[in-house]
């Protein structure tokens, strides 16, 4: 009898072996072929030496015994490639993985760069120098970080050598997780617009400066300095005290329930994915003590994808055969939906791996099953009209999923910026007991073919399931409601949303007798809903009238805590007007009164 599992693993290893040979001979030319930079031979040689691993063509694995000068050359070359004028919508994707040890490096993190330590604790990988994201000051970018998107740092320690301060100046889709800074952390470098940090320890002060909003969960720091519109702290040690509305701060002492994002480790010459256990009413970091409840999954239990080889057919075949999925850095064009039907399936990406549904299909379709994990993926809407990009649970799903809920981490949806698009919704949650830990859903407000009739998208997030919780929801520029919540007992901890910039007129954005669309809508049948730290902003190219920022049944109005409404721009001749924060209450904003706050 044929051992199908052994045959499958052998086939997979042969695939990786031959893919590695192909990469050594041709890969670096492919990586750098999208730029006209005169890459010297020594950079290609260094890159090839750091690429001999199972984690993908554009993944570089570093060892502390390597020559630091060579590593610095490679890292600087990658950063230069990812900060060129066209880098914001580049096709390059990179992961930089560090085995346990001490490194003396200045790591600049650009677009689609994912920096990860491979230790069981962040203390196992120490960077002496910096791991930074900064503004790009040139003729095109004028010293702001409003578009410093799509980058990440995880699971390492930084000892800053520049005035004891590490700079992580970003806006959306740029998470910090499991990071220890032995010094200060600066979150701005010019104008900045929001971010996410979880399970981090900062020995000194965090300077938020121009950060308009920021969400921090389960972290420790000595002090926090600053705050503009909406700063939220959940389960954070030494968090600033609330004094709303005089200060833009929302502080909740403990996180009610969370399972931290899985993280990769390198141990005994093997890659593993560590799966943290669920914790309830948690405060601060969890990596400062041994957690015997963590599970470990070998890379041999994953199907490791190759963007030059794999498609929906090969990935679905692996799913049917019981494999977890690791998306290595690259762009995956999918002619059919990836179907997750098995309880306990893990689908994770590194290096901002990007899924593009090509034929009007979804990118990911998850059945109404227990304990699915999806993490670290960017979704790009294609030119072909698409109803939905990702679904969790079939329509009408009724099962309860406690004590084994589904978790979604660091999922970023993009509609437009590179080409015309036409979709209905990005993410639909039909299952109950789903947790989302950081998501950015973005209808592009800049880029190529961006406009009211060019990158069309109705809603960002729709929730039909009960008991769905979101930690850190960023949802912007969709053409109707940004968020629709139809399920009962939903909870949102921190909400950042800009209404669309580009409705052409009041009539074009009116529905029935209602002027404009609220950002956040809770359906009439909902009996219980809670949300904390809610920021809704308007910036309109054409003068508009909008009735309310939040639309809910009266019975759940009091479940919204700490709301802020701002008008960011207006026409001097005929001003825009947002009439109220919630259901006609809380006051409106116009060119004279640009900000309103409400308990």
How far is Cα 95 from Cα 88, in angstroms, rounded to an integer? 17
Q: Starting at the edge strand that comes first in sequence, how are the strands of the sheet with 455-463 ordered? A: 338-340, 364-366, 386-392, 421-429, 455-463, 483-485, 520-522, 550-551
Residue 299's closest CA among 318, 320, 321, 326?
A: 326
Q: Note whether 200 and 184 are within 8 A (CB).
A: no
- Which CA distances in Å does 322 have to 298, 302, 340? 14, 9, 10
Closest to 372 measured CA to CA, from 438, 325, 311, 314: 325
Judge residue 524's burial from the number of C-beta atoms within 10 Å of its C-beta, 0-12 exposed, 13-18 middle, 19 or more buried: exposed
SS3 content of the chain, % helix, strand, coil (to 5): 15, 40, 45
Count Cα atoms within 13 angstroms, Cβ side, for 457: 37
The Cα diameter of the chain in Å comes to: 81
CA nearest neighbour of 416 among 379, 384, 443, 435: 443
* Residues 59/93, Cβ–Cβ less than 8 Å: no
Residues designated as active site: 498
Residue count of the chain: 599
Whether omega for the bond prior to residue 245 falls within 30 degrees of 0, making it cis, is yes
Instruction: Of 324, 317, 320, give the one whose Cα is nearest residue 300.
Output: 324
Helix axes 41-49, 68-81, angle to 10 degrees: 110
Angle at 77 between CA 71 and CA 78, to 5 degrees: 90
Q: What backbone torsions phi and psi does residue 557 show, to the nearest 5 degrees?
A: -55, -45
> What's the N-to-C CA distance of the chain in angstroms?
68
Distance CA 278, CA 437 (A): 13
Q: How far is CA 250 from the centre of its chain?
A: 22
Q: How many other C-beta atoms lie within 10 A of the C-beta of residue 214?
A: 28
For 307-366, the DSSP string reads: TTT--HHHHHHHHHTT-EEEEPSSEEEESS-EEE-STT-EEEESTT-EEEE-SS--SEEE
Q: Which pair of tokens denotes residue 175?
A: 């998470």
Contact 57, 306 (CB under 8 A): yes
Ramachandran sector of residue 449 (left: φ over 0; alpha: ψ -120 to 50; beta: rest): left
The CB-side HSE value for 307 (13 A sphere, CA atoms) comes to: 27
Q: Which two three-digit tokens encode residue 63?
A: 């060892």
Closest by Cα among 251, 271, 330 to 493: 251
Q: How far is CA 587 from the centre of its chain?
A: 32
């Amino acid at each position: 009898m044929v051992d199908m599992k052994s045959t499958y693993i052998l086939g997979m290893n042969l695939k990786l072996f031959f893919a590695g040979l192909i990469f050594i001979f041709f890969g670096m030319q492919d990586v750098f072929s999208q730029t006209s930079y005169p890459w010297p031979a020594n950079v290609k040689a260094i890159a090839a030496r750091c690429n001999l691993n199972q984690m993908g063509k554009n993944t570089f694995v570093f060892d502390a015994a390597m020559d630091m000068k060579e590593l610095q050359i490679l890292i600087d070359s990658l950063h230069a490639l990812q900060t060129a004028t066209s880098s914001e919508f580049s096709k390059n994707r990179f992961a930089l993985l560090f085995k346990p040890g001490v490194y003396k490096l200045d790591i600049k993190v650009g677009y689609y760069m994912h920096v990860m330590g491979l230790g069981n604790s962040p203390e196992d990988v120490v960077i002496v120098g910096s791991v930074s994201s900064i503004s790009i000051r040139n003729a095109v970018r004028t010293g702001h970080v409003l578009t410093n998107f799509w980058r990440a740092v995880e699971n390492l320690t930084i000892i800053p050598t520049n005035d004891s301060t590490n700079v992580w100046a970003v806006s959306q889709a740029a998470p910090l997780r499991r990071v220890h800074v032995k010094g200060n952390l600066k979150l701005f470098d010019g104008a900045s617009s929001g971010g996410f940090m979880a399970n981090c320890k900062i020995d000194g002060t965090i300077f938020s400066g121009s950060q308009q909003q920021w969400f921090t969960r389960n972290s420790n720091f000595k002090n926090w300095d600053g705050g503009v519109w909406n700063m939220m702290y959940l389960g954070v040690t030494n968090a600033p005290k609330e004094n709303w509305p005089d200060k833009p701060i929302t502080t909740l002492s403990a996180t009610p329930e969370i399972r931290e994002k899985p993280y990769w480790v390198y141990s005994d010459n093997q890659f593993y994915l560590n799966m943290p256990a669920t914790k309830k009413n948690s405060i601060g970091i969890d990596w400062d003590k041994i957690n015997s409840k963590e599970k470990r999954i070998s890379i041999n239990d994953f199907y490791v994808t190759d963007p030059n080889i794999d498609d929906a057919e090969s990935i679905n075949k692996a799913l049917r055969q019981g494999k977890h999925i690791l998306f290595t850095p690259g762009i995956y064009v999918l002619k059919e939906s990836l179907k997750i039907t098995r309880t306990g399936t893990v689908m994770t990406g590194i290096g901002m791996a990007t899924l593009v549904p090509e034929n009007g299909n979804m990118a990911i379709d998850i059945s109404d099953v227990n304990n699915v994990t999806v993490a670290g993926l960017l979704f790009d809407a294609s030119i072909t009209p698409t109803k939905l990009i990702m679904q969790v649970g079939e329509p009408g799903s009724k099962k309860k999923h406690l004590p084994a809920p589904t978790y979604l981490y660091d999922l970023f949806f993009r509609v437009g910026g590179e080409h015309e698009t036409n979709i209905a919704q990005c993410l639909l949650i039909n299952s109950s007991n789903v947790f989302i830990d950081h998501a950015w859903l973005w209808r592009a407000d800049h880029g190529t073919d961006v406009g009211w009739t060019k990158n069309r998208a109705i809603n960002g997030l729709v929730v039909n399931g009960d008991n769905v919780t979101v930690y850190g929801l960023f949802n912007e520029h969709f053409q109707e409601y940004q968020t629709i919540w139809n399920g009962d007992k939903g909870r949102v901890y921190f909400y950042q949303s800009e209404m669309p910039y580009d409705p052409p007129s009041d009539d074009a954005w009116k529905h029935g007798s209602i002027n404009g669309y609220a950002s956040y809508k809770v359906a009439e049948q909902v009996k219980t809903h809670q949300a904390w730290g809610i920021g809704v902003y308007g910036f309109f190219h054409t003068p508009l009238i909008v009735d309310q920022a939040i639309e809910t049944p009266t019975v759940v109005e009091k479940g919204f805590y700490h709301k802020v409404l701002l008008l960011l721009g207006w026409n001097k001749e005929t001003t825009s007007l947002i009439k109220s924060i919630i259901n006609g209450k809380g006051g409106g904003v116009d060119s004279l009164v640009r900000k309103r706050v409400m308990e």
